Amino acid sequence: MEVSAKLVKELRERTGAGMMDCKKALVETGGDLEKAVDYLREKGLAAAAKRAGRKVSEGMIESYIHGLGKIGVLVEVNCETDFVAKTDEFRAFARDIAMQVAASRPEYVGRDDVPAEILEKERNILRAQALNEGKPEKIVDKMVEGRLEKFFREKCLLEQPFIKNPDITVQDLLKETIARLGENMVISRFTRYELGEGAAEQQD
């Protein structure tokens, strides 16, 4: 089927994918823009997965100050080459991640970073809650695992909905950016400061 240049251009602006990739996605999905976005995302995820094992030793540390100095964030994002680290798209991505940390208050980069003892404590709390709600024992474990997924979405940066587009997660955004830039990328670590938190901890 024939797809219009206008539709190809719109898809390209939304996804950052190449012109020919956008045209192919629209042909494959019968000209459905939303399905074409999903198609490219799936292809991007596949491309990103192939790059996941590559060494990342370059990158940048981005800082972000919000609310007239009330909240401050430092985030380290790594990539394979200094060339990519200096691109506007890589820097914009690092900036978006710093803003995400400021707005959404994650505590860990990914679920693998949650300490085992924290996870076990959360699991025990959720189990007790389910039992106190009178849920049958045989479905409690399934409920606990479901509620743990909500815990991961709240506490883990990669699993949070992206603040600029809640239809995707930060993990999706990362993989789409990897696909566009053609290099493996990793969000290594972050630190979030909020005015008064340190003073409150000292008083405690």
Give 199's pLDDT tier (boundaries 50, 70, 90): low
Give 45's pLDDT tier (boundaries 50, 70, 90): low
The number of distinct structural domains making up the chain is 3
pLDDT of the residue at 133: 82
pLDDT at residue 50 tops 90: no
Residues 65 and 45 in one domain: no
Residues 189 and 150 in one domain: no
67-74 long-range contacts, CB within 8 A, separation 24+ = 69/195, 70/194, 70/195, 71/102, 71/192, 71/193, 71/194, 71/195, 72/102, 72/192, 72/193, 73/98, 73/99, 73/101, 73/102, 73/190, 73/191, 73/192, 73/193, 74/98, 74/190, 74/191
Residues 133 and 41 in one domain: no
Residues 161 and 149 in one domain: no
Average pLDDT over residues 60-88: 94
pLDDT of the residue at 70: 93
The residue among 7 and 44 whose pLDDT is bigger is 7
pLDDT of the residue at 24: 86
| DSSP characters over 53-108 | TS---EEEEEEEEETTTTEEEEEEEEES-HHHHTSHHHHHHHHHHHHHHHHH--SB
Average pLDDT over residues 24-32: 90
Average pLDDT over residues 67-85: 94
Residues 27 and 105 in one domain: no
Residues 28 and 68 in one domain: no
Which structural domain, as residue segments, surrounds residue 126?
115-154
Residues 37 and 94 in one domain: no
Residues 78 and 138 in one domain: no
Query: What is the pTM for the complete model shown?
Result: 0.73
Residues 122 and 28 in one domain: no
Mean pLDDT over the full length of the chain: 88
pLDDT of the residue at 109: 97
Residues 167 and 68 in one domain: yes
Q: What is the CATH number of the domain that holds 40?
A: 1.10.8.10
pLDDT of the residue at 92: 97
Residues 74 and 163 in one domain: yes
Contact 100, 157 (CB under 8 A): yes
